[in-house]
Structure 1
C-alpha cells in the first residue's frame, strides 16, 4: 500500500520544480549577461584610467593616423611614393611643427609665467574689494536692526591665524612633468610612423579575420566610414579653430591686450574642448586683463571680445561647415567631455569629441547599439523627419 503523503509530496515536487525554474529564468535569466557586461565595463574603464600613460599616446597616434592615412594612400596611388617614405615625411613634419610652435610661443609664455604673481595680486585686490563691500553691507544691516556697533572688538588672540602652505610652483611642476610628456610624444610619433608605413595592412587583416563575405563588406564599410568622417571632421575643426584663434588674437590686439599671439593659440587649442574650453579661455583673458587694465569694467572688454568670437564660431560657422551628419547632442557632448576629463584629465577632454564621433559612426552600423548612436546625434528637424 502506497503512502498518500509521499504521493502528494512527489506531485508537489513535480509541479513546483519546473515553476521555480521558470521563475528563475524569467527573473534572473538575463542577470548574468548584464552582470558580465557591467563587470566588463568597470574593468575596461578602470584599465583606461590606470594605464593612461600607455593608452593615451596610442589613442592619439590612432587619431592622427586616421587623419593622415588618406594622404599616404593618395601619394601611393597617384605619385607612386612608397608608404614608409610618406610616413617619415609626415611624422617629421608633425614633429617640426610642434617644435616650431613651442619655439614661437616660448617667449610670450615665459613672460606670462614671470608676471603670474602680478596677475594673482590683481585678483586678490578685487576679491578684497568685494569682501570689504560685503562687510560694509553687513554693518549697515546691523545698524538698521538696532545693534550697537561700538561694542568692543574681539581680542587679537581670537582672530584666526593665517597659515601659508608652500606648494611647488608652476615652473617646478612643468619641469617634473616634462620627461613624461617628451616620452609620450616620442612614443606616439614612432607608433604613428608604423601605422602610416603599414599602408592597407589593417584593412587586409580586418578582411581576413571575418568569416562571411557580408561581414567582410560591413567591416570594411565601417572602417572606411570612420576614417573618412573622422579625418574630415578633425581637419575641418582644426581649420575652424585656427580661424577662431586668428580672430581672437586680432580682437584682443585691437583692445590693447598684451601678447595676443598667446591668446590666439590658446583659443585654438581650447576650442577643441566644447563649452569648457571657451569658459577657461575667457577666465584666463579676464584675469590677465584685470592686471593690465586695473579695473573690472575694462577687463570685461577683452572677455566680451572672446565671447563674441566663440559665439559666432559655435552658433554659425561650425554648424554650417561641419553639417548635420556629424552634429552632436549637446548634452551628450558635455557628458563625454566631463567623463573623459575624469578618466584622462585635460588630454581626455581634447579626445572626447573625436572618440564620440567614432562611437556614433560605429553605432550607426551595429543594430544592437543603434539607440546609442541615436542618443549621440543632434536633434532631428521636422523637415528632415518628413524626408
Structure 2
C-alpha cells in the first residue's frame, strides 16, 4: 500500500468495498429509474419498437427507396402495432365488463353452493354466510372498470410514446452511419449495441411464434369447452405471451372466470388444466430453451429480470423485461473488456463455444 502526500494510505480499493459500493450505486440507480418510470417505460418501449422495425427501413433503403418513405413506413408499422395491442387490451377488458352482469344468477347460485359446502365441512352457518358474502360480482366489475379507465386515460403517456417514436424513426436513418464512425474508437461498445438490437429482434420473433402457437391451442380448447369469446381470449393469450413465465396467468383469468360462470367449477378446472398443460409444455419447457439459446440469457436470469423490471417499471417492465436486461448486459458487460468473464455465467453460450474452440488442441 502506498502513502499519499498527506500521509494517508492510498491504493486500489478492496474487493468487498468495491462490491458494497456497486450495490449502493445499483440501489440509487434503481430508485432513480423507479421515480421516473412513467417516462422511462414508454421511452424504452419506443426504442424497442423502432429497433424491431428498423430492418424494414434498411431493406427499403437498399432497394433505392427514398429515406423519407422508409421513415413513414416504419412509423406506420409501429403505430399499427401500438393501436392493435391497445385495442386488444381495451376490448378484452370491456367485453368482460359487459358480460359479467349477465351471469349474476349463476354467480348467486355458486355462492349458495359455496355456503352449503362450507357448512358441510363443519363451518357455522353464520360464519359461512359472512365468508361467502364478501364475494361480490359488482366488486370485480368495479376493478375491471378501473383497469379499463386506466387504459383509456393513459393519454399523456401515449402522446409521449407516439412523439418519441416519430423522432427515433427519423434519427434511425443516420444512426447506423454514426455507429460505423464510433466503431473505430469503441469497437466493443458498438458491437454490444448491435448485438442488443439483434437479440431483441430475435427474442420478439421467437416470442411471437410461440405466442401464435399458444393462442391457437387455447382457442381450440376454449371452443371445445364452450367458453364465450374464445378468439378474444386467444388474442389476449398471444399478447401476454410476451411476459416471461407468468404471462399465461394473466391471460388465464378471464376465460377461467367465464368457465366458472358458464359451466361451474368443473369447467373452470378444465380451463385451468388446459392452460396449465399448454404453458407447461410450450412456455415452460420449449420456449425458455429456445429463447435462452437465441438471446444468450439463462432461464434463471430471465425470471429474475421479470421480477426486477416489474418492480422498477411496473406492468410495462414485465413486458419489456428481457429487452431491458439485454440492454443492461450490452452496456455493462459486453462493452467492458474487464467484464467479459461474466458472459458465460449469464448464459452466453457463444462465449463458451469460443473458449472451447480456442482451448481445443
**TM-score of the pair, normalised by structure 2:** 0.77
**Among residues 139, 142, 146, which one is paired with 1:169 in the alignment?**
142
From the superposition, tell whether residues 378 and 228 of structure 1 become closer, same or farther in structure 2 (CA, over 3 Å): closer
Question: For 1:344, which of 313, 321, 336 is the aligned residue?
Answer: 313
**1:297 matches 2:297:** no
1:185 counterpart = 2:158? yes
Aligned pairs for 1:233-312 within 5 A: 233-294=203-264, 296-312=265-281
Give 1:286 deviation, angstroms.
3.0
Once the two structures are TM-superposed, the CA of residue 50 in structure 1 deviates from its matched residue by 1.3
What is aligned with 2:27? Answer: 42
Select between 39-48 and 248-257 the one with higher mean Cα deviation. Answer: 39-48
Pair 337,244 (structure 1): closer, same or farther in 2 beyond 3 Å: same
1:68 Cα deviation from its structure 2 partner? 0.8
Q: How many residues align?
A: 345
Q: Is residue 65–residue 196 contact of structure 1 (8 Å, CA) maintained in 2?
A: yes
Moved more, 273-282 or 342-351: 273-282
Q: Which residue of 2 aligns with 1:219?
A: 189
The partner residue of 2:202 within 224, 232, 239 is 232
Corresponding residue number in structure 2 for 1:80: 65
TM-superposed CA distance for 1:377, in Å, is 1.5
Q: d(CA) in 2 for partners of 1:84 and 1:46?
A: 35
- Counterparts of 1:198-217 in structure 2 under 5 Å? 198-206=171-179, 210=182, 213-215=184-186, 217=187
CA distance in 2, matches of 1:349, 1:105: 19
Is the CA contact 2:75–2:166 (under 8 Å) kept in the aligned structure 1?
yes
Shift of 1:75: 0.9
Per the TM alignment, residue 257 of structure 1 is displaced from its structure 2 partner at its CA by 1.2
Gaps of 5+ in 2: none
> Structure 1: any 5+ residue segments left out of the alignment?
1-16, 140-152
The alpha carbon displacement at 1:100 in A equals 5.8
Q: Deviations over 1:197-253 (max 9, x none)?
A: 223433444555x5x8352x3232222221122112212212321231122112111
Structural RMSD (CA): 4.2
